[in-house]
Amino acid sequence: MTNDTKASEAAPIITRRSFVATTSVIGATALSAVSSPATEPTQTTESNLNDVSSEVRSHPFLTDADDFRDVSRGNPKPFTLQGEQLVEARLTPETWRLEIVTDQTLSEAVKRPAKIARSLKIDDGTALTFEALQELGNEHSVKFIKAMQCLNIPSPLGQGLWEGVPLREVLRLCGAMEDVRRVYYWGFHNNDPKQMFRSSLSYTQAMETAPSELPPFIAFKLNGEPIPLIRGGPVRMIIPWAHGFKSIKWLQRIVLTNDYRANDTYAEQNNDPESHLKTAAYIDTFPEQQPAHKVVFVSGLAISGLSGLERVEYWLRRIAPDEVPVTDDPSTWTNAKWQECRLEAPPKNWSGILPAGVSPQQICGFDSTTGLPRQWPLRYSMIAWSAKLEGLASGKYELRVRAIDENGFAQPEPRSILKTGRNAIEVKRFDVQ
């Protein structure tokens, strides 16, 4: 099946209108808390229960910069600095500088140190300024919609439209290189080595991008605005394919090294430093008490990871009074009866979703002529799914939701190793009375 067919076959997501029209609404708590385009509740009638035609999501497509779940270290956390402290930390657009230097450490693994024709340093006034970065951005811009997710947190943190300059264009400023095998980078850490949160890429990942593929980039805008301090501004690294730990906030230093080993802080904590975002589904929180014999809508998010997203399925299981809830073992999955969920279709009109002045044609993953997404969901983004549970009798229930990737692998396959990305199948338990 081509991606185009899939996009056109995707059913529309259940609407806010139908959500609010229902007496029994799973996900309503989460729903009312988000800032989606306002649609006023209409009267509760049978007909609008089935109205799934308009395109209002249970989550905004782009998460407000302040609404991401925050994962950051530091004491004090860099985003709590103010006034003169920010100036000293070089975390204002005027004071921000990016240094690019070489690693001169020799070891068993490194016989010759990295060499570059030109370093960018604060000392001699050659470090890259915010203005120079933006100028590079005028020439070599990259825009990308990314689901931010932590390898170790089992729910997405948010989704943003990030804009910046491909890392390769910035590294080009250093001229000829010799004996560079890896790119190390980190951000402001209160000048305390113990607080450093580092990440890395191979030289190839940094410098070469296959046609239509996604380059690592140095971002200075989020959702059309300057990146706020809380999200790692003024300048943040964005690694489109990776979990959050590669997307270093408050970026200030790049070190080119001849060491072939990843130095990621996450690698030191038993995580796979080369893992890509996983294809997986997540369930919105919902009330644990539901009325019997009413229509119950459930919803959530699905991330399209490296292996793409084919569909999302749910399994609703009624638990007999004497039964113990099942565990996540293979026999459970063999006997389960999975049913397909609706997936949010590509928006027909992106202008209400994207920031003013940004057209889909400019964004990676969209056709530059038609402005249509080349695949849906866009790779490394997330969309909403929904399902309608009907006529539930009183009792205890378990709802499980899983994603199937484009290789036909069902979550949690093929990654039983949680340290490449936590994404066990989610289960929610609720009572119907």
Ligand X SMILES: Nc1nc2c(c(=O)[nH]1)N[C@H]1C(S)=C(S)[C@@H](COP(=O)(O)O)O[C@H]1N2
Interaction site with Mo ion (CB under 5 A): 71, 150, 244-245
Tokens of 60: 């905004």
Task: Judge contact between 281 and 312, C-beta under 8 A.
Answer: yes
Residues 374-413 that bind ligand X (CB under 6 A): none
Q: Report the residue number whose CB is nearest to Mo ion.
A: 150
* Interface region with ligand X, contact rule CB under 6 A, candidates 31-39, 248-256, 319-327, 360-368: 248-256
C-alpha distances (whole Å) from 297 to each of 16, 294, 310, 386, 394 are 11, 10, 22, 7, 17
* Binds ligand X by CB under 6 A, chosen from 72, 134, 141, 155: 72
Query: Is the Cβ of residue 15 or residue 247 nearer to ligand X in the bound state?
Result: 247
Residues 203-242 that bind ligand X (CB under 6 A): 231-232
Query: Is the Cβ of residue 247 or residue 263 nearer to ligand X in the bound state?
Result: 247
Report the partner that residue 157 touches, choosing among ligand X, Mo ion, none (CB closer than 5 to 8 A by kind): ligand X
Query: Is the Cβ of residue 185 or residue 245 nearer to Mo ion in the bound state?
Result: 245
Q: Report the residue number whose CB is nearest to ligand X.
A: 244
Cα–Cα distance, 21 to 44 (Å, whole number)? 5
Residue 101's DSSP bridge partners are 255
Task: Judge contact between 134 and 151, C-beta under 8 A.
Answer: no
Query: Is the Cβ of residue 198 or residue 342 nearer to ligand X in the bound state?
Result: 198
| Lookup result for tokens 């099942």 | 326
* Interface region with ligand X, contact rule CB under 6 A, candidates 127-135, 220-228, 245-253, 333-341: 245-253
Q: Is residue 291 reached through a cis peptide bond, with omega within 30 degrees of 0 on the bond before it?
A: no
Query: Is the Cβ of residue 150 or residue 292 nearer to Mo ion in the bound state?
Result: 150
Least distance (Å) between residue 158 CB and Mo ion: 13
Contact flag: residue 286 with ligand X (CB under 6 A): no
Query: Is the Cβ of residue 69 or residue 428 nearer to ligand X in the bound state?
Result: 69
Contact flag: residue 267 with ligand X (CB under 6 A): no
| x/- letters, 50..69, toward ligand X (CB under 6 A) | ------------------xx
Report the partner that residue 247 touches, choosing among ligand X, Mo ion, none (CB closer than 5 to 8 A by kind): ligand X
* Binds ligand X by CB under 6 A, chosen from 30, 101, 150, 173: 150
* Binds ligand X by CB under 6 A, chosen from 21, 49, 56, 148: 148
Sheet containing strand 382-389, strands side by side: 280-283, 296-303, 382-389, 342-343
Least distance (Å) between residue 71 CB and Mo ion: 5
- Contact positions vs ligand X (CB under 6 A): 68-73, 148, 150, 157, 187, 197, 231-232, 244-245, 247-250
